Amino acid sequence: MEFLDETLIRWIHLLAAATWVGGMIFLLFIALPTLSLRRETARAPTFTHTFARFLKIVWISVGLLILTGIGNLYIRLQMQTHTPLTVYYYGVFFLKFILFIGMLSMAGKLHFAIIPKLRELEAGSSEEGQKPVEELGQWQKKALRLTQGNLLIGVIIFLLAAYLTALATGHVVSE
């Protein structure tokens, strides 16, 4: 039963992490380049909509990552009787956690600052009958840059997670 609980928690943790990072890869390398083939004025609402929809999935992933992350940590602490965790493990874990906070705040900035601004620009411009294309473009670039930064951090977190597992299972010896 314990084995099943551990597998279930790791499975959900991996699935949530893959959804967030994989979603950003799809967004940056497939969806948005395809969108950019359309004229700027036509693509603006679809751009914002795509980001807003993706962020809904991101928040679900964040919730699952926090819950299952705590579960993962609990499991590791329980396992200490077999293989004690080193200070080095806690250091790498701390770094992983700080980077997660970075990802979280960037997603928050996208959700609470950039997406509303893009929506406001789209609505305002349709009332005036003319799209402030330049300003929209600048805010779209901000959204893109934040997502690129978040993808980079996400990839680093995956590396740290793989390293943590190696450290915890004794495949890497450290003091």
- Could you tell me the smallest distance in angstroms from the CB atom of residue 116 to ligand HEM? 24
- What distance in Å separates the CA atoms of residue 12 and residue 69, rounded to the nearest whole number? 10
The answer to whether residues 53 and 23 touch, using CB atoms and an 8 Å cutoff, is: no
Interface with ligand HEM by CB under 6 A: which range of 32-40, 113-121, 123-131, 163-171? 163-171
Written in H, E and C, the secondary structure of 95-164 is HHHHHHHHHHHHHHHHHHHHHHHHHHHHHHHHHHCCCCHHHHHHHHHHHHHHHHHHHHHHHHHHHHHHHH
Q: Which residues ranging from 3 to 62 are in contact with ligand HEM (CB under 6 A)?
A: 10, 13-14, 17, 20-21
Nearer to ligand HEM, 44 or 168 (CB): 168
Residue 163 as a binder of ligand HEM (CB under 6 A): the answer is no
* Interaction site with ligand HEM (CB under 6 A): 10, 13-14, 17, 20-21, 65-66, 69-70, 72-73, 76, 100, 103, 154, 157-158, 161, 164-165, 168
